[in-house]
Chain A
């Protein structure tokens, strides 16, 4: 007897949060095709786990005797819609990640376990209103005994109420509501009845657009009912946000939802505030990983139910179910934070474009320094044929505001005061005298990137990573009980500063190089009367600090801001006229082929903070390589010119966007284990590609950081001019790796890696 031929009642195929590319069959009496996309609790081994129903059948290829029944289908938790499942399937296939794990990672944490129905129920506020039949109904015609029903109807005639309010104020309301619902006189809903907004907020508050902005908004508006990808290339301060706001207004006016993705959690409150001011009556959900679990669930449910008309969030928001999705915006689309670096290593920007095609809606990618991939796609030449439509905002939106003057200072030609040259110090002094603000940018947190023994050059290293420990100053550096600590920026390990050199025993361990803390201290020493504020990941760790510093800076209560790239994006400080850049050269020594692209973007972003509101801005970049072509392009603020140079180089080298890459990352605890496995993996890949060609398998190499958190790291890069050819290799390669690589090594495929 073949079990597959015999009908054994409904069998559901469930994707579970396990690292396997398969669904699991369970018996589910009463299950129908309606249940596809629904969460279910199932027994799995000795424990219970949650999964997503992907199929319902009447047969199973397994022996029916072995099938276990599902514990519960969680029908009170909303199901994934077919379109959402399609997106998840794409992510699983493209990024080579098990579908069950993709599905579970896309759920808010509160829905990932069997307590999900409780979490959902706790959030639901049921709103009760009269149905049309109830409005026409005369309460007096109810039987005299139905006191509660009558009182409920009378209350609802005044105004809609929440179920909870009725139950509290009217004895017997719970029973009465049940009866009234059955009679069709009241309707209960999870959404508050909409009270029409008397004022058309969007049109009354929108400022006038400059011509380039109008063209962009019009093009997006004209394409609201079809899939089309736009690259909105607007210089810093050119008013990209206004284009977003007006496009969103047009999308909302058509009765559809808008999804806006932003790179940084720290930027979300600011942009969220702008949207709230512009769309005061519109329900907006804000999704990011720092949101409290309950809030995140609430916003996610609101988006899925279609109540939230605007969804704003970081990369994780890209998979938020939205039944009426009509526009996707990806702000700062070049930002590396859109690519997840662990688990499902997806690019939220690319997922957004795919999602636009599923939802048949436009996708707007905005940036002052687009990624080379997006830029290439927007070139109307034979190679990419303008797959994206380029919308350009070539000038600043505020009348009279010009791009700042950018100058490169040769730091080898000036005496340095703790890394600050005379030109920069003089410029800072001038701004203080004029009561204008300055920003000093250095992309290194901590006090100094290393400590070095003055006698023998020994440097403390992290035992678990192939990296030096970074010296962080304590709160009160001159108190011997608060001297500071050493931090590893790779694995997070911290330890006390050693009193003596680990090699020669000398006590003279000196800070080497500088980070934000040291620059802050130097500036405070140079300008004792100035109000200096530092913002980096350490300063922002305490809740609310970043918001407070941004608010103080915007209010003019800070004279000099010191910080990392956290300061470089999306902030408008009207009085800021000087930007100084220290240690930009560090990025020049990176072996990563995208390092120049990232440095250019970073410099343009940070330079863009100066002179946004009409006061002329100045940017001083200290470097030891003043003639480098990258700096020439930054000074000219010529992104298209820079992009052309890079694009040509990449074409010659066969690198993205002219090739597709995937990187196998292998980690092992025992010395040499990772490298050995990586070599084996490369051999396996070669065996698979021999017949097919077109895919180049590089030799196994140690990773740029050869050891991290106690794991040795190796990698194998595979490269192909054809994305299709590359992807034909990935699935079979992953299958043989799963079978062949030793179990104690960890490995992951990174498709379209950000760093190689």
Chain B
């Protein structure tokens, strides 16, 4: 589970089989305890969504804060860099 802001999303595309697919970039900012003190955490990460989730996420405007649930996988067989696969989300505020 992660709270983040969608900072950009590609246009909705479809896989060859016709499954909707959406690529997005998420930005996370929070305060986390580190060795007894609060520390500012911030990072950007790539994410993917497929199917109904992709269609719903395509309606969410960039800048909105959202809670995401999903799993991590490598980007593809040429890159081991991680990417978040979103399986559920909920807009905050």
Q: Are A457 and B14 within 8 A (Cβ)?
A: no
Contacts of A507 in B (CB 8 A): 15, 17, 19, 21, 50
Chain B interface, number of residues (Cβ within 8 angstroms): 13
CB distance from A49 to the nearest CB of B (A): 49
Q: Are B14 and A477 within 8 A (Cβ)?
A: yes
For the complex, is A721 an interface residue (Cβ under 8 Å from B)?
no
Contacts of A511 in B (CB 8 A): 16
Q: Are B77 and A499 within 8 A (Cβ)?
A: no
Residues from 464 to 487 in A contacting B, C-beta threshold 8 Å: 471, 477-484
Instruction: Please tell me which one of the listed residues B16, B20, B73 contacts residue A484 in the complex, with CB atoms under 8 A apart.
Output: B16
The distance in angstroms between the C-alpha atoms of A636 and B21, with both chains bound, is: 48
The distance in angstroms between the C-alpha atoms of A613 and B14, with both chains bound, is: 44
The distance in angstroms between the C-alpha atoms of A478 and B21, with both chains bound, is: 11
Question: B13's closest neighbor in chain A, by CB?
Answer: A478
For the complex, is B18 an interface residue (Cβ under 8 Å from A)?
yes
Q: Are A481 and B50 within 8 A (Cβ)?
A: no
Q: Are B18 and A456 within 8 A (Cβ)?
A: no
For the complex, is A509 an interface residue (Cβ under 8 Å from B)?
yes
For the complex, is A497 an interface residue (Cβ under 8 Å from B)?
yes
Q: Are B77 and A455 within 8 A (Cβ)?
A: yes
For the complex, is A508 an interface residue (Cβ under 8 Å from B)?
yes
For the complex, is A166 an interface residue (Cβ under 8 Å from B)?
no
Question: A451's closest neighbor in chain B, by CB?
Answer: B16
Instruction: Please tell me which one of the listed residues B20, B74, B77 contacts residue A480 in the complex, with CB atoms under 8 A apart.
Output: B20
Question: A472's closest neighbor in chain B, by CB?
Answer: B16
Instruction: Please tell me which one of the listed residues B16, B50, B73 contacts residue A483 in the complex, with CB atoms under 8 A apart.
Output: B16
Residue interface mask A240-259, B partner, CB < 8 A = 1: 00000000000000000000
Q: Are A509 and B15 within 8 A (Cβ)?
A: yes
For the complex, is B76 an interface residue (Cβ under 8 Å from A)?
yes
For the complex, is A109 an interface residue (Cβ under 8 Å from B)?
no
For the complex, is A498 an interface residue (Cβ under 8 Å from B)?
yes
Contacts of A510 in B (CB 8 A): 16
The distance in angstroms between the C-alpha atoms of A451 and B18, with both chains bound, is: 13
Instruction: Please tell me which one of the listed residues B17, B20, B74, B77 contacts residue A496 in the complex, with CB atoms under 8 A apart.
Output: B17
Residue interface mask B42-78, A partner, CB < 8 A = 1: 0000000010000000000000000000000110110
> With contacts A457-B77, A508-B76 known, is A498 near B18, CB below 8 A?
no
For the complex, is A33 an interface residue (Cβ under 8 Å from B)?
no
Question: A447's closest neighbor in chain B, by CB?
Answer: B16
The distance in angstroms between the C-alpha atoms of A483 and B15, with both chains bound, is: 8
Q: What are 13 pairs between A and B in contact, CB < 8 Å?
A: A451-B16, A454-B77, A455-B77, A456-B77, A477-B14, A483-B16, A483-B18, A484-B16, A484-B18, A497-B16, A499-B15, A507-B21, A509-B17
6 nearest A-B pairs in the assembled complex, by CB-CB distance: A483-B18, A497-B17, A480-B18, A454-B76, A499-B17, A497-B16
A interface with B by C-beta (< 8 Å):
451, 453-457, 471, 477-484, 496-499, 507-511
